[in-house]
Amino acid sequence: METRSITAEDYLKAIDEFTLYNGYASLSEIAHLLGTARQSAYDEIKILVQKGLVERRSRGEYVLTREGSVEANIFLRKHRIAEILLWKSLSLPWETIDDEAMGIEHGITETIAVAVCRKYGCDSCPHGNPVPDENGMVHEIHDIFFSSLKPDRKYRISRVIFENSEILHYLGTRSMLPGYEVATDHQGMLCIPSNVGEKVPESVARAMTYLTFNE
């Protein structure tokens, strides 16, 4: 199995995604996601804390600082533009482009980024997340987290905030891309109306944000 070199930017991206998903990133989750030893992850995160990019909330729980968020966004710009390129130009499957983008994201120069944006547009990546500008600034999206959904309502998927390969496979095989219609039942569980009311696992439902039908 090919081993991918892990950079500081990969750690910032991982912490950013886990914070959106869980409210924080745990050391064990980061190590598992990046496929590295827990001690190696701890050593790298300790450096990021010393640089003021990551803040330790409690034992084994981390979030990005404001400066860390900007640095993460500068890297996420490359990652999301790589996703756009792979999806629009090469027509790779929607659910695989997050993993595939990891192989080319570090080689996306600003010249390439501008060219991709000019040809395909870069308002958002194929998973619905906004593409930051070259300074790490990103426009705010006023969407709703799963915890704020109301029972017996219809919604549209806004974006996938936690791009786990299993979650993307679940969504991709059901064509649940941004804009797809979902609904909540009387207990607040997320369902797929077009698939005989199939209930969506909560781990998947929490990995997305939503828009109401008047947005």
Q: Where are the alpha helices (DSSP H) in the chain?
A: 8-22, 27-34, 38-50, 66-88, 97-101, 110-120, 165-172, 202-205
What token pair was written down for 131?
């593409």
The amino acid that residue 55 corresponds to is E
Contacts of 215 (CB under 8 A, 6+ apart): 142, 143, 156
Per-residue pLDDT, 3: 45
Beta pairing, strands 25-26 & 61-64: antiparallel
Spell out the domains of the chain, with CATH numbers in brackets. 8-64 (1.10.10.10), 76-140 (1.10.60.10), 144-211 (2.30.30.90)
Is there a contact between 37 and 31 (Cβ–Cβ < 8 Å)?
Answer: yes
Provide φ and ψ at 144, rounded to 5°. Answer: -120, 135
Each residue's pLDDT, cut to its tens digit, for the chain (215 residues) gives: 344 467 899 999 999 999 999 999 999 999 999 989 999 999 999 999 999 999 998 888 999 999 999 999 999 999 999 999 999 999 999 999 999 999 899 899 999 999 999 999 999 999 999 999 999 999 888 899 999 999 999 999 999 999 999 999 999 999 999 999 999 999 999 999 988 889 999 999 999 999 997 65
Per-residue pLDDT, 1: 35
CA end-to-end distance (rounded Å), the chain: 45
d(CA 154, CA 162): 22
Q: Which stretch of DSSP H or E encloses residue 57?
A: strand 54-58
d(CA 23, CA 60): 13
Is there a contact between 27 and 62 (Cβ–Cβ < 8 Å)?
Answer: yes
From 21, 3, 14, select the one nearest 206 (Cα to Cα): 21
Is there a contact between 84 and 125 (Cβ–Cβ < 8 Å)?
Answer: yes
- Three-state secondary structure call for residue 182: strand
Q: What is the largest CA-CA distance in the chain?
A: 52
* Report field, pTM of the whole predicted structure over 0.85: yes
Whose tokens are 């395909």? That residue is 120
